[in-house]
Amino acid sequence: MDTSNSNGWFNIGTPKCGLILGACGIAIAFMLIFLGFWNTMLVAALFLLGYWIGAIQGKSNAIKTFINRLFPPKGE
């Protein structure tokens, strides 16, 4: 997988990055107008949760550890 970002879409300070961030700002503005503040915050929180779960390296072990903390195995 190439992670060099050679086309500059995510390089801060470039016009391409400005377009992406501008589009994100417009999307957030429309969400605030049509969904309201708290629903927009819920969408943002669920997005961050999904991103966090997707970015974990040892995902299966982290999820197993979390579930075992919530519901300890029998006999412990």
pLDDT in tens, 12-69: 778 888 888 889 899 999 999 999 999 999 999 999 888 887 887 877 888 888 899 9
Spatial distance between the Cα atoms of 31 and 47, rounded to a whole number of angstroms: 14
Cβ(52)–Cβ(44) under 8 Å?
no
20 sits in which H/E element: helix 15-35
Cβ(60)–Cβ(50) under 8 Å?
no
Cβ(54)–Cβ(48) under 8 Å?
no
Asked if residue 5 has pLDDT above 60, the reply is: no
Domain ranges of the chain: 1-35, 36-76
* pLDDT class of 3 with cuts at 50, 70, 90: low
Asked if residue 2 has pLDDT above 70, the reply is: no
**Amino acid in position 42:** L
Spatial distance between the Cα atoms of 40 and 35, rounded to a whole number of angstroms: 6
